[in-house]
Chains A and B, each alone.
Chain A
Amino acid sequence: MSVSVRIPTILRTYTNGAAEVAGEGSTLRDVLAKLDADYPGIGARILDDSGKIRRFVNVYVGDEDVRFADGLDTATPAGVQVSVIPAVAGGC
């Protein structure tokens, strides 16, 4: 499935400054693997050494925080937007 991936400012050094890049895969896991193949090194910024989403990263598929869905197994239907967002933003 082809999807779009929104890249946060601090990871745009990997994407030559692009805020949004094309992605591919039927689950978030596949999309992130393809992203790392296209932009080597970016995967390790999003996933930790054991392959889990880092503690301070939020990933959304569409409007859903994947921690409320199926995590890395969350389905990524064609055309959906995947957003990677640093978790430390915000708060009161």
Chain B
Amino acid sequence: MALATTETPAAVDFGPASALSCRECGTRYDLGPSFACLECFGPLEIAYEFGRVTREQIAAGPTSVWRYRDLLPVPADVAAKPNLAPGWTKLVKADNLARELGLRSLHIKDDSGNPTHSFKDRVVAIALEAARNFGFHTLSCSSTGNLAGAVTAAAARAGLSACVFIPADLEEAKIVMASVYGGKLVGIEGTYDDVNRFCSELIGDPLGDKWGFVNVNLRPYYAEGSKTLAYEIAEQLGWRLPEQIVIPVASGSQLTKIDKGFRELVKLGLVEDTPVKIFGAQAAGCSPVSTAFKAGHDVVQPVKPNTIAKSLAIGNPADGPYVLDIARRTGGAIEDVDDTEVVDAIRLLARTEGIFGETAGGVTVGVLRKLVAQGALDPDAETVVLNTGDGLKTLDAVAAHARPAAVIRPSLEAFRTAVADA
């Protein structure tokens, strides 16, 4: 069978990226808008030929993901193109939360500081460059909400059309946000997995011709954006790897790529090769990977999601098997927390560190707390936890617990009576 790849324009420039390579069987393909191996259906990943990259070179770059352009499938002049320039978000030293949980050293990588308030801007920025390279006119995706907003915003900045697909029952804030940037937002009656399936079929149809689906036909490029979380964490720690990290798991792509990012830094000699235990966090109402981990399985049985953590509600996670491999290889674990624990954790993070995370952040901090209580996390080891989105997008989750202390007339007397004496 001929290994014909999709036709690509002659002038593509993907910087240090050299090929697409099947993660399962290693078959290599030219860089093109394809995502599955023709031999085994395995996921395609970017292969690189890195030049010399130094800490100084990176530090002299822009305060965005583009400081790592020499490690990403993007052209050298990417920072000059119209894009949202996401990344370089804060790594917050979380002493209050650490004290509350009994940890010696804890940092929060707060990705709510991105342009559309979630980590999705990172992955979309890389996919956008691929879309430009391939001459696509429309940017699209299947989304649990955050991605849809990141795609419509990036398309607006880049001057491309956008048409994005979400489960129709998403949080209001995510629907409004994904719509405000223009483009078309289409609600699908069904779960995220139904939306995903729909997009997979649309991509083979003339209706989707010249469309870049960031997490389907551009997925190999898109997924690389999550590596920048690993690069930033290491650089912000002073060019060191953390000893333990807790990462939310939806499709598992983010966790898989953070691992890849750490490995690349070691290979390039940018950090010392010290062990990193990688932990994954799921919501109990959608925990296929955590269930497989605990059962000792190496494949993931899909589930039908039912959780308030809608951004993590992927019942059939594409990278689930790799997440299992990585957690086991590094001595980490995958754990889950129920919706009550998610809400508690959102409030805990807000109360201790002044960070209002979305439900996915609640899942991750909730799992951090659970892993400490179980003794699975070493309280003396340097720990990093991710907050991948903004609580303003999932207000309903905590609204019942976050009300005014009082509503009073504007008088000192009324205040004294209602609050000050209490």
Interface of A toward B, CB cutoff 8 Å: 6, 8-10, 12-13, 19, 41, 45, 54-58, 60, 63, 65, 67-68, 83, 85-92
Given contacts A58-B316, A65-B302, contact A88 B1 (CB under 8 A): no
B203 at the interface (CB under 8 A from A): yes
- The DSSP consensus for interface residues of chain B is loop
**Inter-chain contacts of A88 with B (CB < 8 A):** 35-36, 41-44, 219, 318-319
Can you report 12 residue pairs joining A to B where beta carbons are below 8 Å apart? A8-B200, A55-B41, A56-B42, A85-B201, A86-B200, A88-B43, A88-B44, A90-B192, A90-B199, A92-B144, A92-B215, A92-B253
**Residues of chain B in range 195-212 having any CB-CB distance to chain A below 8 Å:** 195-197, 199-201, 203-205
Chain B, Cβ-Cβ closest to A12: B204
Contacts A56-B43, A58-B197, A67-B302 known; A91 to B314 CB distance under 8 Å?
yes
- Minimal beta-carbon separation of A8 from chain B (angstroms): 6
Query: Which residues of B, 246-261, contact A by the 8 Å Cβ criterion?
Result: 250-254
A67 to chain B, nearest CB (A): 6
- The residue on A at minimum CB distance from B217 is A89
Q: Are A86 and B36 in contact (CB under 8 A)?
A: yes
How far does the Cβ of B239 sit from chain A's closest Cβ, in whole Å? 29
Contact B318 A9, beta carbon cutoff 8 Å: no
Asked whether B87 is an interface residue with its Cβ less than 8 Å from the other chain, the reply is no
If over half of A's interface residues share one DSSP class (helix, strand or loop), that class is named, otherwise mixed; here it is: loop
Query: Are A90 and B251 within 8 A (Cβ)?
Result: yes
For chain B, the count of residues having a C-beta within 8 Å of the partner chain is 52
Is B311 among interface residues, defined by CB-CB distance under 8 A? yes
Contact partners of A55 in chain B: CB under 8 A: 24, 41, 299, 321
| B216 contact from A13, A60, A90, A92, Cβ within 8 A | A90
Expressed in whole angstroms, the Cα–Cα distance for A41 and B199 within the complex equals 26
Q: Contact: A86 with B201, CB < 8 Å?
A: no
Give bound CA distance, A63 to B193, whole Å. Answer: 11
| Complex CA–CA separation, A25 to B122 (angstroms) | 46
| Complex contact B35–A92 (CB within 8 A) | no
Look across to chain A and name the residue whose beta carbon is closest to the beta carbon of B120.
Answer: A92
Establish whether residues A13 and B1, one from each chain, have CB atoms under 8 Å apart when the complex forms: yes
Report which of A57, A60, A67 forms a contact with B41, defined as CB distance below 8 A.
Answer: A57
List B residues 304-337 near A (Cβ within 8 Å): 304, 311-312, 314, 316-319, 321
B407 CB contacts on chain A under 8 angstroms: none
Contacting pair A89 B215 (CB below 8 A): yes
| Contact, CB under 8 Å: A89 / B199 | yes
Which residues of chain B are near A54, meaning CB under 8 Å? 40-41
Tell which of B41, B120, B194 touches A86, judged by Cβ atoms closer than 8 Å: B41
Complex contact B41–A56 (CB within 8 A): yes
Q: Is B38 engaged at the interface, CB distance under 8 Å to the other chain?
A: yes
